[in-house]
Amino acid sequence: MTTVAACAASVVLTRDLPLADTVALAGGIATGGFLIDVDHAIDYVFVERQRDLRPGAFLNYYVEGRMRRTVLALHSYELFAVLIAAMLWLNSLPLTGYVLGALMHLTLDLMFNAELTPRSIAAFYSFTYRAAHRFEAVALLGRPELRPPSGFWATFFSGAQPTRATPVTAVAETTPPA
C-alpha cells in the first residue's frame, strides 16, 4: 500500500516533467518498493529448500518465524551503498526511483520488524553482519514467539504478533566466525 501511495505521490510531484520521466521514476519506485522482497522467495526456495509454493505457505513460513537462515541479499546497507553510488554516477531516473522505493521499504521494515525481534534490527540489515552470523536466523533475530492472524489477507496486511505482552526472550547468540 505504501508503494502505491509513493508512486501516486511521485506522479503528482513530477507531472510537469516529460511523461517518460514521470513513468520512469514511478516505475522505479514501484520496483524498489515491491520487488525488493524477491529475495525472500529466493531464500525460501534456494536457501531454506522449501517446495510448497502456495502464497499462504510461503507467507506463514516467514510470519511464524520458521526460517533457519536469512540471506536476504536485497535487504542490505551494502547493496544500497552500491546502488546509491550508481544512481549518482549514472543520473538515471529509473534507478533513482528504485533506490527511493527500496529505501522506503527498508525504513518500514526497520520500523515494523523491530517490534518482533529482541535482537538489533538495525544491525540485521547489514549483509556483513548477517554473514558474520552465518545467516542463522536464531542468532540474528532470536526466537520470538509469534502468532499470525487467521486468514491469508489478515496475515498479509498485519503480519505476526508476539504471543505474549512481555518482552521476547532471546537465545544465546552464536559466535561469529574468526
pLDDT for position 158:
58
pLDDT in tens, the chain (178 residues): 889 999 999 999 999 999 999 999 999 999 999 999 999 999 999 999 999 999 888 888 887 778 899 999 999 999 999 999 999 999 999 999 999 999 999 999 998 877 767 678 899 999 999 999 999 998 888 776 666 666 665 556 656 666 554 344 444 334 344 4
| Residue 130 and residue 71 in contact, taking contact as beta carbons nearer than 8 Å | yes
What are the beta bridge partners of residue 69?
A: 136
From the list 13, 39, 23, the residue with the least C-alpha distance to 97 is 23
- And the C-alpha cell for 39? 529475495
Going from the C-alpha of 116 to that of each of 52, 121, 175, 178, the distances in angstroms are 25, 9, 22, 29
- And the C-alpha cell for 98? 528504485
Strand spans (E) along the chain: 146-147, 161-162
pLDDT for position 22:
94
pLDDT for position 120:
83
> What predicted TM-score, i.e. pTM, was given to this entire model?
0.78
- And the C-alpha cell for 135? 545467516
| Residue 58 and residue 23 in contact, taking contact as beta carbons nearer than 8 Å | no
pLDDT for position 149:
62
pLDDT for position 45:
95
Cα separation, 32 vs 97, in Å, equals 7
pLDDT for position 59:
85
| Residue 98 and residue 28 in contact, taking contact as beta carbons nearer than 8 Å | yes
